[in-house]
Structure 1
Amino acid sequence: MARRRKGDPVDGWLVVDKPAGMGSTDIVGKVRWALNAQKAGHAGTLDPDATGVLAIALGEATKTVPFVTDADKCYRFRVVWGARTTTDDASGTVTEMSDARPDADAVEAALDRFRGDIMQVPPQVSAVKVEGERAYDLAREGVEMELAARPLHVSRLEVVASDADGVELEMVCGKGGYVRAIARDLGDALGCLGHVGWLRRVWSGPFRAEEGVSVETIEAEARTPALLARLLPLETGLAELPELPVSEAAAARLRNGNPGEVLSGAEHGATCWAARDGRAVAIGTYRAGALHPFKVFRS
């Protein structure tokens, strides 16, 4: 006999403006409790000291998480000159210091090597897996690791403000970007050392910080219709994919895991989502006038 899940079948997205001092999983747990939801997850971890967009998927919306995780994200952050830390941000222990300070022209010239397609070594304290264990767990045990460089596309990296002791930057990048690694490597490139002083995620895929709900609001509206009313539809997480309308007959086929004919086309082999009256039916691969589903939504 199947075990009944605790909670309600809540579907949709809640955008949280995460405060500093809370972990991403703590926010997920609070949202799940506040909505009495059966299932919840987030679309991209933020460091405990970071603030900004943390998009929480609930119920059927969790099936769309990979498409938000893969989308571009925008970060605003301050790089503090003069010190290297164990975590590449202000929460770590200072391991090396420098009195050197770059001028504005030197900073601008150095930024160019961090734009476009780059290779980036993740911070020691990161979620990267090393022989089955998270790097941050090994780092806390004092293990020093040689992490492999990973590709990252940075479509924009610009100076917002600067002073003698640091620079405020805004970056738009693809999946897998570590702001702390940018700060570390920029400080090394300029010969002055550097780490992240503060960090805010301004937007992530279709989600914006100005749409975010505070933790205080979540607590105040917990278990009420007011918080439920703040949910965005699960389809919000599919904004980066082509939408293909389908007939009711095709929708029924797709819900059963079978290919269904679509009413408009897309590029052959493209990942798309089928919609019936604006509601997501399935996600799949478009081939020869039909969608071949690999994820199906509860009707």
Structure 2
Amino acid sequence: MGRKRNKRSPEQRDGLLILNKPSGPTSAACLNDIKHQLKQYKIGHGGTLDPMATGVLLVLLGHGTKLAPYLSGGTKTYSGTFRLGITTDTLDIQGEVVKEAPVEATVDDVEREVYHWKELTEQEVPAYSAAKHEGKPLYALAREGKETPVKIKPIVISHVETLDVRMPEASFRVSCSAGTYIRSLVHSLGIRMGCGATLTSLVRESSEPFTLAQAHDLEDVLENPETFPEKVIPLKDTLPHWPRYRLTEPLAGLVTNGAWLPVNSQPGELLAGKLGDRAMLLDPEDEPLALVEAKLQDDKPRWAILRGLWNRD
């Protein structure tokens, strides 16, 4: 007997909600509030934020959940503050202080060490994180008092700047690859400076290509359900940094049958591109049809289907 499919809620939307996550609740708790209060039973995200953090949280709705791999991997920009002289178990101010030390650094020292982040190519995953070991989150192991395995992950820091330094605190802005732990950046700075450091606030200003200026407060989303539909970005507009091509009926039929369409070498023309480019294909009614990437097939560039979007079941 086949698995029973959940009935779709009449209120279910398809697309993207850019949420300004408040400090305090987990990202999962924010999604659960939207899920149950607004009957958005098919829901996902494009990269979580720690409970203390605020800012851009990409909430994927309905068929928008199919786009998670393509929205979660973009560059993230954060601004935040840290305090020198203390180290906590969670690497942020919400944890328990495990060490204190005098701060003898100068403003120049702080600015130099913040800029040093740009030289980092990997970091240690915090023990208190959602990263998993044998199917269990590291934070669960840490809270049980169990030893957490050391996990190292690659990172890319594309931009760093110090905004203000008022000892023993400093503020900064950093742009980085998806999955970078800002807590770990601050912790590594504290180790290099010999006095320890802990993150005291964090705001995600952007999750490529969306910014905080486009985000909606959770309270507003939940308390005004009648305006919720207009806050949701339609599925076809969820990847604005990708080219979009509206196909003719015959070409749309080929795509739904799994065909790879030829890449047009003429810029500005239908299906124009070069190897490695990605695009969204639309049907004649302007509805999303597929996500594609230009790849070689029989030594010819063709649009390979990354994700079919024509199945609305």
Q: Which amino acid aligns with 2:46?
A: A
Moved >4 Å (runs of 4+): none
Residue of structure 1 equivalent to 2:84: 81
The aligned counterpart of 1:267 is: 274
Match of 1:211 in 2: 214
How many Å separate the matches in 2 of 1:116 and 1:245?
43
1:175 aligns with 2:183: no
Instruction: Output one character per residue of 1:199-241: Cα deviation in whole Å (capped at 9) or x when no partner.
Output: 111111122112211122122112x2x1111111223432343
In the TM superposition, residue 104 of structure 1 has moved relative to its aligned partner by: 1.1
For structure 2, the 5+ residue unaligned runs are 264-269
8 A contact 1:12–1:233 mirrored in 2: yes
1:252 aligns with 2:253: yes
Q: What is the 5 A alignment of 1:1-299?
A: 2-8=4-10, 9-222=12-225, 224=226, 226-261=227-262, 263-276=270-283, 278-287=286-295, 288=300, 290-298=302-310
Could you list the runs of 5+ residues in structure 1 that have no partner in the other structure? none
- 1:153-184 Cα offsets, whole Å, 9 max, x none, are 10111111110111101010011200100111
Determine the C-alpha separation between the residues in 2 that align with 1:129 and 1:239: 32
Structure 1 257/117 Cα, relative in aligned 2: closer, same or farther at 3 Å? farther
- Please tell me the residue identity of whatever aligns with 1:239: P
Q: 2-side partners of 1:127 and 1:283: how far apart?
A: 29
For 1:249, the aligned partner's letter is: P
Measured on the aligned residues, the alpha-carbon RMSD in Å equals 2.0
Native 8 Å contact 2:76 2:208 kept in 1:
yes
Letter in 2 for 1:88: L
Q: Cα gap change, 1:256/1:26 in structure 2, threshold over 3 Å: closer, same or farther?
A: farther
TM-score by length of 2: 0.88
Residue 274 of structure 1 deviates from its aligned partner by 1.6
* Per-residue deviation, 1:116: 4.5
Q: Which amino acid aligns with 2:185?
A: I
Query: What is the CA distance between 1:106 and its match in structure 2?
Result: 0.6
Deviations 1:2-47 (A, max 9, x none): 5342413420111111111111111112222343224110111101
1:67/1:240 contact within 8 Å kept: no
Contact 1:206 1:237 in 2 (8 A): no
Q: For 1:100-127, what per-residue CA distance to the aligned partner results, in whole angstroms no more than 9, with x for missing partners?
A: 2421111122223210552111111112
Give me the whole-angstrom Cα distance separating, in 2, the residues matched to 1:265 and 1:97.
59
Is residue 47–residue 57 contact of structure 2 (8 Å, CA) maintained in 1? Answer: yes
Q: What is the distance in 2 between the residues matched to 1:120 and 1:20? A: 25
Q: Is the 8 A contact 1:101 1:165 kept in 2?
A: no
Please tell me whether the aligned partners of residues 84 and 94 of structure 1 are also in contact (alpha carbons under 8 angstroms): yes
Name the amino acid aligned to 2:125. P
- Check conservation: 2:115, 2:161, Cα contact below 8 A: no
Tell me if structure 2 keeps the 8 A contact 1:284–1:294. yes
- Tell me, in whole angstroms, the C-alpha distance in 1 between the residues paired with 2:7 and 2:259: 27
Moved more, 53-62 or 272-281: 272-281
Letter in structure 2 aligned against 1:267: K
Contact 2:78 2:205 in 1 (8 A): yes
Q: How many residues align?
A: 297
Deviates more, 1:97-106 or 1:195-204: 97-106
How much has 1:264 moved relative to structure 2? 2.4
Contact 1:242 1:266 in 2 (8 A): no
User: 1:7 is matched by which residue type in structure 2?
Assistant: S
* 1: CA distance, partners of 2:148 / 2:246: 49
SS at match of 1:136: helix
Give the structure-1-normalised TM-score: 0.91
Quick check: 1:127–1:134 contact (8 Å CA) kept in 2?
Answer: yes
* 1:183-210 CA distance string (max 9 Å, x none): 1111111112001101111111122112
Alpha carbons of 1:35 and 1:254: their partners in 2 closer, same or farther (altered >3 Å)?
A: farther
